[in-house]
């Protein structure tokens, strides 16, 4: 006879049949097992449903629960701990995940063991949903990062990296005056009369190949491509990161651009002819536009570089007096004489021919 209390601390008398009725009504699977033989001496309805015997005489736990490890269970129980594991029950055409715990009814070695089985299907479902959401969140994060990287690459194609960093951090870009910069202006001569100009696809392919090489040359010598307009190309050195080598950098770029065009012409039927103008002086750099961003440079320095290009001879590099003063010790330049430059008066112009051996 067992004595329990109700909510008012009044004793409740329960006989053995009452205990069995309570155990049979549980939604948890309960079995009592003989420790020496592993025979199931008692089981409730849930345990019988989840682990039905294959034959009438099949009462051993090790047979009805194939994933059960008796030696590991005994070692845990003898150490004073419960043996816990998870398995799946296959009954009535349904697979059910279960959490199993095996423990001793008392500390005596010959005592019975109680096996408790808990349905954890909702827990597994929650874990599956959590894992699915986690994978979805990781995928969305990767997609966002890829899109962010794509946008960053696009923006870095139209503005210098430091300008992009400033815009990203502050949402705006402050116009800056760069007192020491060198600007390169290149334009192709007679491109509209070229045979290839009648084929838009071929023309764009040629220009894309040429400008791609120009971009690589600029990158090699720390110059920034500012923009292309039609078949014109503008690059600068000395901004947004100042450098004392701005004129030397642009001179190296201009010579290599001219050399590339010459080599390309010798290997292709179509001949591209260009003029290059270079000037050193102050410029203003800023990001313009609210919806379509463009990083551009402004000021007299840009206008002077444009004048140098328009006054240059075909397949020559014409530089201003300012640029000559910065280059004449390290590059070979020849005088072209004095020219009337619109907006700048009479100016001495020079032709950049090559790097001196010491520079190489």
* pLDDT digit string, tens, across residues 308-342: 999 999 999 999 999 999 999 999 999 999 999 98
pLDDT winner (highest mean) among 237-246, 250-259, 349-358: 250-259
Which has more pLDDT, 188 or 58? Answer: 188
Element (H, E) at 116: strand 113-119
Q: Mean of the per-residue pLDDT values for the chain?
A: 83
Q: Please list, in sequence order, all residues whose beta carbon lies within 8 angstroms of the beta carbon of residue 120, skipping any fewer than 6 positions away.
A: 86, 97, 98, 99
CA torsion 224-228-233-238 (nearest 10°) is -20
pLDDT at 270: 79
pLDDT digits (tens, 9 = 90+) for 5-37: 444 444 444 455 666 777 777 788 888 888 888
In this structure, the strands spanning 176-189 and 273-288 are: antiparallel
Class of domain 11-119: alpha beta
Reported confidence tier of residue 93, pLDDT bands at 50, 70, 90: confident
Best CATH choice for the domain 170-355 from the list 1.10.1060.10, 1.10.10.10, 3.40.1260.10, 3.30.70.1230: 3.30.70.1230
What angle is formed at CA 307 by the lines to CA 344 and CA 187, rounded to 5 degrees?
Answer: 175
Give 204-239 pLDDT, tens digit per residue: 888 888 999 999 999 999 898 888 888 889 999 988
CA 50 – CA 337 distance, rounded (Å): 103
Contact between 199 and 210 under an 8 Å Cβ cutoff? The reply is no
Contact 86, 67 (CB under 8 A): no
Virtual CA dihedral for 125, 131, 132, 136, nearest 10 degrees? 160
User: Is pLDDT of 255 > 90?
Assistant: yes
DSSP one-letter code for 39: B
Average pLDDT over residues 149-171: 73
List Cβ neighbours of 61 (8 Å cut-off, separation of 6 or more).
31, 33, 38, 39, 40, 68, 70, 115
All structural domains of the chain with their residue ranges: 11-119, 170-355
């Amino acid at each position: 006879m067992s004595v329990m209390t109700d909510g008012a601390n009044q004793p409740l008398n329960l006989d053995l049949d009452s205990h069995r009725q309570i155990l049979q009504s549980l939604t948890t699977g309960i079995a009592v097992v003989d420790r020496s033989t592993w025979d199931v001496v008692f089981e409730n309805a849930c345990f019988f449903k989840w682990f039905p015997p294959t034959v009438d005489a099949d009462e051993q736990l090790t047979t009805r629960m194939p994933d059960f490890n008796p030696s590991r269970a005994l070692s845990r129980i003898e150490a004073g701990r419960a043996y816990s594991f998870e398995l799946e029950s296959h009954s009535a055409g349904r697979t059910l995940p279960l959490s199993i715990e095996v423990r001793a009814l008392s500390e005596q070695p010959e005592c019975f063991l109680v096996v408790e089985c808990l349905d954890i299907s909702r827990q597994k479902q929650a874990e599956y949903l959590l894992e699915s959401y986690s994978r979805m969140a990781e995928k969305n994060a990767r997609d966002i990062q890829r899109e962010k990287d794509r946008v960053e690459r696009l923006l870095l194609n139209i503005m210098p990296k430091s300008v992009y960093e400033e815009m990203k951090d502050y949402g705006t870009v402050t116009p800056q005056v760069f007192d020491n910069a060198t600007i390169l202006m290149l334009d192709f001569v007679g491109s509209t009369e070229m045979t290839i100009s009648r084929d838009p696809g071929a023309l764009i392919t040629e220009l894309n190949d040429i400008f791609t090489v120009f971009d690589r040359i600029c990158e090699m010598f720390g110059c920034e491509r500012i923009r292309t307009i039609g078949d014109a190309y503008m690059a600068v050195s000395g901004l947004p990161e100042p450098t004392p080598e701005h004129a030397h950098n642009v001179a190296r770029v201009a010579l290599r651009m001219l050399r590339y065009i010459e080599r390309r012409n010798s290997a292709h039927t179509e001949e591209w002819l260009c003029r290059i103008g270079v000037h050193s002086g102050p410029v203003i750099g800023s990001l313009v536009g609210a919806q379509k961003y463009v990083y551009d440079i402004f000021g007299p320095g840009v206008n002077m570089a444009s004048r140098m290009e328009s006054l240059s001879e075909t397949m020559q590099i014409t530089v201003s007096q300012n640029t000559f003063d910065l280059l004449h010790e390290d590059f070979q330049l020849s005088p072209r004489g004095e020219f009337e430059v619109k907006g700048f008066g009479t100016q001495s112009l020079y032709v950049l021919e090559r790097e001196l051996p010491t520079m190489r």
